[in-house]
Amino acid sequence: MHQYIVNASIQILPVVQDRHPYEWVDEAIAIIQNAGIKYEIGPFATVVEGTYEEVMKVINAVNEHLFNRHCNEWITSIQLQIRSGGDITGDEKVEKFR
Amino acid sequence: MHQYIVNASIQILPVVQDRHPYEWVDEAIAIIQNAGIKYEIGPFATVVEGTYEEVMKVINAVNEHLFNRHCNEWITSIQLQIRSGGDITGDEKVEKFR
Amino acid sequence: MHQYIVNASIQILPVVQDRHPYEWVDEAIAIIQNAGIKYEIGPFATVVEGTYEEVMKVINAVNEHLFNRHCNEWITSIQLQIRSGGDITGDEKVEKFR
Amino acid sequence: MHQYIVNASIQILPVVQDRHPYEWVDEAIAIIQNAGIKYEIGPFATVVEGTYEEVMKVINAVNEHLFNRHCNEWITSIQLQIRSGGDITGDEKVEKFR
């Protein structure tokens, strides 16, 4: 895979009863916040930016965290937007509207 | 259904070859911008807020527009977040992070 | 909107602690099963087919049911696939693979 | 991460004009078909099963293929369902309905 910037949205949907699902969501967001790549927290998902490798590393770190913390069950919903010949950033998609 | 605030994310994924897919996305966003309910445009989707009825009306208006404009084919990806006993807003979900 | 067949996938993600989330999912699926349009239950979502009006009526019926039954909070994830000039069916998309 | 079975749905949404988007979808499905893990092709996504490592390897292989084949731009939509203490299979979620 290339080293261009890819753009991804990450949403965690816990399937649990022991804690309020949002508590797991907050833990997942904290992992993303500390991952060292650009992120924007939205109402439904957190959008991150980095190389493909960097983004997949963050996705794996979130799932690894939830596993190590014994979150009973969860769905990680991901959208990865990739351009084969160049960068694709969040700003490029929204700046004309902001 | 109740009259509380619901929260929804709307993403349009055109399946076309005649125009660049983003052109259809921009038209869909314009429909949302003119619908008169609160919205926030993000890199993957536009998040709207309103009563269930208001939000479904916007979703229908977007699909109606794409149909009337002869967009060949598209996927409308929607996440509707609803609380049966009260409002659920975008701000409530992100303010502690902003 | 036209009267052609549209294709939609419906996924219910309860945000609850009082019951196992799957119990709400099963109730939502039962609403779809009794709605009188074609459906296929998959591991992540139930795919339905019908006119736009019929499909939106089922989506509304599911949300109405969860509201009337006091499901605390849920996300309805929907993908609506629409072709402006004709039908789009599930079979058309998978028959060459089955 | 554990070695239990996880369950994932993979959907490819090409953002292209040079070929019909379905042609890229078919290529992605062929990669999944040849990956050696259990899969079920549905109207909106292909559901796969395997260990977390096996599933992520397939997701990476699909993206790698599209990159090597110069697909201009695409969104890979993924839902990963993971249980920290055991397997989660597609059958478990649908068998009572089939």
Domains recognised in chain D with CATH numbers: 5-87 (3.30.70.930)
Would you tell me which residues 51-80 of chain A have a C-beta closer than 8 angstroms to some C-beta of chain C?
A: 75, 77
Question: Residue C27: which residues within 8 A CB-CB, separation 6 or more?
Answer: C65, C66, C69
Contact A75 D76 (CB under 8 A): no
pLDDT tens, D64-89?
Answer: 999 999 999 999 999 999 999 999 99
The residue-averaged pLDDT of A33-52 equals 97
Interface residue of C73, C88, C92, C93 to substitute, partner B, most B CBs within 10 Å: C73
Q: Cα A28–A31–A32 angle (5° rounding)?
A: 90
Q: Are D54 and D46 in contact (CB under 8 A)?
A: no
> Which pLDDT score is estimated for A98?
77
Does residue A30 sit at the B interface (CB-CB below 8 Å)? Answer: no
Quick one: pLDDT band at residue D59, thresholds 50, 70, 90? Answer: very high
> Which pLDDT score is estimated for A30?
98
> Which pLDDT score is estimated for D98?
78
Nearest by CB to A15, from C18, C21, C77: name it: C21
Contact C73 B64 (CB under 8 A): no
Does residue A43 sit at the C interface (CB-CB below 8 Å)? Answer: no
Q: Which chains touch B (3 or more CB pairs under 8 A)?
A: A, C, D
Instruction: Answer whether residue A64 shows pLDDT above 80.
Output: yes
What is the Cα Rg of chain B in Å? 14
